[in-house]
Structure 1
């Protein structure tokens, strides 16, 4: 996919609908000249809702949608008729999308499941009709509530790809070639630096019909934290990976030094990345014999498992898969997160059904929702 089609950041104004006014109607009928109040409630304003869609992998479809406006609720009517609710607007987003308040930076929603729905901007409540205000001392109230106003909030939608393994390496380390070999992904491959300009995802088949997801991001170089090369813009796409696969070419003059440079750049971007499990793959090693491999092994850091691979000849590719799979399983046991999320499905009567996911408490509080 062309680089200009990968959009992982959009700023959008969300305006929810205002609630309809309650009615202050008095019932009148033949034989009942003083029937009393029968004003109905106003309908609530439309919400703006985020919905996870696993068929999407970019925010391209929202790039030029700068304003999203939900419908207004209608006013209540006589005979206790409730006004119609405003039309909800549903924004489909790829899994891994985070919504932040553009002014405060506060995270307001996070989408990680297909079909998950979260109200991003809540519509105003409809006003109560005068029927609610009758009492023994006020049997003919003429007062009804106005509807609550909607909200207008600028939100930033930011995509962080969800993958099990993130590839980290210098340009031309063989990341895209590996992804094309172990999955059906077709990243651009060429013999010049920065061939990969946007992240790529691939599903890697494993034993017994199992699989895991691998993410390839553009190569980083020393000084990327200061903006050299393509900078660190795309490193956010490996923040959620269970395992990081460092890839360094066998013809590097100093593999251990390159590995340390990559670690330093990751630390400057987000120190938490150093807490993730790591695997070191020495690529383009099809021309190495056992003696050369032993010499290189002696120079490698001892705190990270390594494997010599060649994507072209398939050397040790299955061994690499086995190692990555084990790391993924260990990471899942150590942090069984799958975050706790709530799926909210709007009902016609303005109630919501909640389905809980197992796991730790999510930062999203339930008072965001109806």
Structure 2
């Protein structure tokens, strides 16, 4: 299925039903009085986060969603029925904003979260509402309220703990396939990955994290070159970035340091917060480097990388040497990632208020 992470829809809540003017008519009841009921409220439009969905493709083919109108009030004190609500299922991580102004209305961040998008109109009052001691036979009624209408933009940012970035053919798809349950397309040509892939990495019982693989970046991606710029947004929710480096490029003239520097530059141009995220180096395809040359090549890369990005010697720079294809060096990488994700998750939890009377108890 084609990955769709942006869509535009028009929604309309139902109008309220009109109130009714009616009087009681029964034999021998000369002064029956008013008995016109109220109209029913219009249907609401809700959005709900569904973990069974991972794209917005359904909203590309169906853009208009109208809730039912409330029924009109009737005689004999009968109120009109409320209009049926509409529930729109969307992937977790969907951002809903106003299509005209761009203002964000809400974000769906938790499975099962339900939010009101458009409120239905209130039902109108029937004439029984206007009965009083000085108005025994009212003929007033009110029309139903107008339901809200909105033009919305839906944008999906996948929720992942770890994001993979790198040049095309750096081995990101092979890496995510080796450590998780994801099965992306893998081939020996650039831009094999055309849409984000999510994979769950199982570390142990009730221990896991989610990895996102996006299309490879090239220089100029922040201005629209290549494919990866369309999906950089999916890395904005991650807690850690793994910069995958091809240490054995087919073209010997290609400098991995220059490529790595270009990727980092694109991150900075695209978003400062994305650039500031923790970023670890994953030196891939080392199985294709002669064993007696690996140590020297890694040391040379790290030294020139620090110089190119002006990283001081005392600054920490996590580096992992792996071969995704041969599944070498992956276990230490997975353990370190899980530890980092767990620490960040625990640090982000709100503090728990403890009753001072029980503060000293274990």
Aligned to 1:248: 245
Partner of 2:178: 181
Match of 1:304 among 317, 333, 357: 317
CA RMSD of aligned residues (A): 2.1
**Superposed displacement of residue 282, structure 1:** 0.9
Residues 281 and 306, structure 1, Cα contact 8 Å, conserved in 2: yes
CA deviation digits over 1:266-306, x for unaligned, max 9?
Answer: 22222111232222211112335444433433344444322
Task: Give the whole-Å Cα distance in 1 for the aligned partners of 2:210 and 2:228.
Answer: 24
Aligned to 2:265: 264
Match of 2:283 in 1: 282
Give 1:321's aligned residue.
334
Secondary structure of 2:61's counterpart equals: coil
Asked whether 1:64 is paired with 2:86, we answer no
Structure 1 range deviating more: 292-301 or 105-114: 292-301
Q: Distance in 2 between matches of 1:86 and 1:247?
A: 53
- Describe the superposition over 1:141-192 as per-residue Cα deviations: whole angstroms up to 9, x where unpaired: 2212210112332211111111111111110111000011111211111111
Residue by residue over 1:46-69, the C-alpha shift from the partner in whole angstroms, topping out at 9 and shown as x without a partner, is: 222212211111111221102112
- Cα offset, 1:19, TM superposition: 0.6
Per the TM alignment, residue 238 of structure 1 is displaced from its structure 2 partner at its CA by: 1.3
Shift of 1:234: 0.8
In structure 1, C-alpha distance between the alignment counterparts of 2:136 and 2:331, rounded to whole Å: 81
3-state secondary structure, aligned to 1:49 = strand
Equivalent runs, 1:179-218 vs 2, <5 Å: 179-218=176-215
2:205 is paired with a residue of what secondary structure? helix
1:135 to 113, 132, 137: 132
C-alpha deviations, 1:49-101, integer Å up to 9, x for none? 21221111111122110211221110112233221111222221111111211
Give the match for residue 293 of structure 1: 298
Matched residue SS, 1:218: coil
Q: Is the 8 A contact 2:39 2:126 kept in 1?
A: yes
1:21 aligns to 2:18 (yes or no): yes
Contact 1:277 1:327 in 2 (8 A): no
Q: Is the 8 A contact 2:15 2:42 kept in 1?
A: yes
Aligned 8 A contact 1:279 1:324 in 2: no
Q: Contact 2:257 / 2:301 at 8 angstroms: preserved in 1?
A: no
Which shows bigger deviation, 181-190 or 246-255? 246-255
Q: How many Å separate the matches in 1 of 2:6 and 2:169?
A: 26
SS in 2 for 1:232: helix
Long gaps (5+) in structure 1? 338-357, 359-370
1:275, 1:78 → 2: CA distance?
67
Confirm or deny: 8 A CA contact 1:50 1:118 kept in the other structure. yes
Residue 220 of structure 1 corresponds to: 217
> Superposed, which structure 2 residues align to 1:328-367 within 5 Å?
328-336=341-349
**Superposition deviation, residue 254 in structure 1:** 4.5
- CA deviation string 1:194-220 (max 9, x = no partner): 111111111111123411111100001
Aligned equivalents of 1:164, 1:186: Cα separation in 2: 18
Change (3 A) 1:334 1:256: farther
| Superposed structure 1 runs of 4+ greater than 4 Å apart | 252-256
Deviation at 1:31, TM superposition (A): 4.4
Whole-angstrom distance in 2 between the partners of 1:7 and 1:44: 35
Unaligned runs of 5+ in 2: 307-314, 353-362
1:110 pairs, out of 103, 107, 110, with 107
TM-score by length of 2: 0.86
42-51 or 250-259: bigger deviation:
250-259
Deviates further, 212-221 or 222-231:
222-231
Structure 1 distance, partners of 2:317, 2:19, is: 66
TM-score by length of 1: 0.84
